[in-house]
Amino acid sequence: MIAWYFKRAIEDILANRFLNAVTIATISLAILIVGFGVLFVENTGDVLAAWKRGARIMAYLKPNATAGAVPRLKWAIQSIDGVATARFIPRDQALAHLRAQMRRQASLFDHLAENPLPDAFEIRLLPTDEGWERIERIAARIGAFADVDDVEYGQQWVATFRSIVDLLRLAGIVTAGLFLLATVAIVANTIRLVIYSRQQEVEIMRLVGASEGFIKAPFYIEGLIQGFAGAVIGLGILFAVFSLLAAGAEQSAVVGLFEIRFLSAEMIAAIVATSMIVGWLGCYVSLSQSLRS
């Protein structure tokens, strides 16, 4: 019986190739957008996690800090729980490093009356999965030392980056929801047209005593097939685009900081299941309106 349902669903799809092609293409587009949003959120989360695991804090000393305070301050910083190393960077070394980085703009340093850079400590934290509060707590303790003038750990760009990610995540959810709703409507219209083309057959089946479940089952299977095909095509396009972008990223500076990864098997299964549910739901809406006894 199930084999007959599948056979009838395939026959309907082949008999209405154009309508089903449009429906599957629409589902593919919706899945592509949903998959891209999920992929973006997962990888941007990895960026923040990688930064957090290898977080670095710069502590800039006050101009009046004495040379004798450096060893004492280094010991105090390294004694803080969560600190891996604290490396002292003299202001002259910092200026030389800046000159080396800005060799094309070397003329900027020709007329410096004095070194404008402060002495500093470069502090690296132990890798951990703890939240941002840990970094903020350590930075606050370092900033409380009398000889420390300022503490910098990228808090401004991290906060901005997280806000942008949250905004894009919300926009992705809204966009994906709208596309899925539109897909349900398109699937429903496709199934409705198929039902109209088989209206006489459906009436005959009712007259000979066929149950509603027997009549509707092929249509539900057709919706599931449309959802599955759309998910496979959408995820296939997403993987092709991801492969191209990942190949380009391998040549950039992001390599070694974090791994750019595709969707997990569990997430792929969830997206395919969601797509099939969308196909089934579109079929359900159509059948509810078109096959009323």
Whole-number Å distance between alpha carbons of 240 and 21: 21
What phi and psi, each to the nearest 5 degrees, are found at residue 84? -90, -55
Kindly report, residue by residue over 50-105, the tens digit of the pLDDT.
666 667 788 999 888 877 888 889 999 989 888 888 889 888 888 777 777 766 66
Q: Which residue's entry shows tokens 């991801």?
A: 242
Selection from 156, 121, 130, 164 nearest residue 52 by Cα:
130
Higher pLDDT, 9 or 121: 121
Domain with CATH 3.30.70.3040 in the chain: 56-152
* Structure-block tokens of residue 84: 């891996």
The radius of gyration computed from the CA coordinates of the chain, to the nearest angstrom, equals 31
Kindly report, residue by residue over 135-190, the tens digit of the pLDDT.
888 888 998 898 888 888 776 666 777 787 788 778 878 877 887 788 888 888 87
CATH 3.30.70.3040 fits 56-152, yes or no: yes
Higher pLDDT, 186 or 128: 186
The neighbouring-strand residues paired with 88 are 121
Task: Give the list of residues 6+ apart from residue 21 with CB closer than 8 angstroms, or none.
Answer: none
- Across 82-96, 104-118, 278-292, the highest mean pLDDT is recorded for 82-96
Q: Find the length of the chain.
A: 293
Q: In what helix (H) or strand (E) does residue 151 lie, and over which residues does it extend?
A: strand 148-152
